[in-house]
Amino acid sequence: MRIKQVFILVIIFGLIFTINVFSQEKKRADPVNWSELKPFLIDISGFKKEGEAEEKNPPNNKFSRVKQDYVAEGDEAIHLILTISDFGFPSEAIEISKSIWAIEIDASEKYTKQITIKDQPGVESYRYDNKEARVLVLIKDRFLVCLEGFNFKNTSELKNIIQKIDFKGIANLR
């Protein structure tokens, strides 16, 4: 019941925030091409890349994204997905996400809480039932780095891995 109430509050807050965001005039930068994000898809010790990196730069050019799947060497049940996205600056989606991140959840089935990694704001979440871990970091209010892990005991290993990504290099993209 409590989760339902929090969810409804999040939706209401998101709608109010969206109306406020759209009522203000904002300057938007074009996202970088996906090929500029691809070098930041790091090699991860103990994991091998599975397949080619996926990329997306839609015709409307509202965002760009690269994504790489990884499988643990010796245990294919453990895998990761690293996604790096550029939404342009400023992005209404990013502003709404930051508002939602402010709501922390600690329940029997999952938790979500705010974190800071290398001076950048983020959020970590973990689902106990399926051992799904997720760490998201927002760089320069524009770039979103997301690392998802499946069959992990907690988010600690993901936080260690995501710190190896060159946040300064991503922040310097124009």
For residue 39, whether the previous peptide bond is cis, meaning omega lies within 30 degrees of 0, is no
pTM of the model: 0.79
106-123 per-position pLDDT tens digit: 899 999 999 999 999 999
Between 61 and 135, the higher pLDDT residue: 135
Band (pLDDT 50/70/90 cuts) for residue 16 is very low
Structural domain for 53, as ranges = 2-171
Given the structure tokens 């290099």, which residue do they identify? 169
Band (pLDDT 50/70/90 cuts) for residue 69 is very high
- Neighbouring-strand partners of residue 65: 56, 85
pLDDT of residue 102: 74
Residue spans of beta strands (DSSP E) within 12-131? 47-56, 64-72, 75-86, 105-106, 110-117, 120-127
- The tally of domains found in the chain comes to 1
* Of the candidate ranges 27-36, 39-48, 85-94, 151-160, the one whose mean pLDDT is the lowest: 85-94
Answer yes or no: is pLDDT of 51 > 90. no
User: How wide is the angle at C-alpha 59 spanned by C-alphas 56 and 60, nearest 5°?
Assistant: 105
- Neighbouring-strand partners of residue 122: 115, 137
Per the document, the length of the chain is 174
CATH no. for residue 153?
3.40.1000
Answer yes or no: is pLDDT of 65 > 50. yes
